Amino acid sequence: MQIAIVGFGEAGQIYATDLAGKADITVWDKKFTGPQGDALRERAIQSGVRPAGSLAEALEGAHLVLSLVTASNALEVAGQAALLLHQRQVFLDFNSVSPETKRAAAKAISAGEGEYLDVAVMAPVPPKRLHTPLLVGGTVAQAVVQTLCSLGCNARAASENIGDVSAIKMCRSVMIKGLEALTTECLSAARKYGVEDAVLASLHASFPSLGWDDALPHYLISRVAEHGVRRAEEMGEVVKTLQDAGVSAVMSHATQQAQSALPARMAEHSISYSELEPFNWQAALGRLE
């Protein structure tokens, strides 16, 4: 089994590393040609996978192509791959984009010889790694899911229609990323007023099973601090998803702004996420005051 992974960021590196030894893995990232190229290629080699010299080289002979790029690059990568894919090669679009963006990518792939599958990643890839739940949509979803599961992935065929699983993902993000943003805003203000303990006690009394008195606030705010830039980009696709459905996206647009605000403040203070680990929300916000 030959697999090409396009995008060697956090998720791409995890999938490449964990699939190495189970399949012949080739990786490609446009950053290979930039200032970070040597370090990224060396990281790929150390992970037991082969860095390609181009997208065409990565796709050559691959049975499955996993696209794990940023939301803003997802459609462009699909268009580039469409010109290179041959029959029986399957392009799995893991990217967090709107259903309409997925359908546009599928149209591009189907204009060539490849097969397209819509993949929704339903939880952060770390810490579960290959066991992160995946929903897969498309006409060949069932057969490919069997292959993915044989490689150790936690995948389920959920629809034959392109866009369905991404709609599930995008609608879920309204709630999940909105909760992260609300928690960051709520506790930032509560800390300023010196009432964070009382606010958390009240939240715990209202929702005792969620962990407001324990790890939940630290986890939710840490997701914004570590991944807010990327999550804000994804929320742009959520806004598009809602608008395509004729639904007001007022809350999701605000979530997009809130997700980007905390990382922006960290950048202003030259604070990296690694400096905040192990993450404590009070300590992190205190660094920014």
Domains of the chain: 2-160 (3.40.50.720), 166-288 (1.10.1040.10)
Backbone angles phi, psi at 54, to 5 degrees: -165, 165
Q: Identify the DSSP state of 30.
A: G
Q: Model confidence over 155-205: pLDDT tens digits?
A: 999 999 999 999 999 999 999 999 999 999 999 999 999 999 999 999 999
Q: Are 100 and 244 in contact (CB under 8 A)?
A: yes
Q: What percent of the chain has pLDDT over 90?
A: 98
Sorted by sequence, the CB contacts under 8 Å of residue 272 that are 6+ apart come out as: 266
User: How far is the C-alpha of 158 from the C-alpha of 136, rounded, in Å?
Assistant: 6
pLDDT for res 75: 97
Q: Model confidence over 57-100: pLDDT tens digits?
A: 999 999 999 999 999 999 999 999 999 999 999 999 999 999 99
pTM over 0.85: yes
pLDDT for res 96: 95
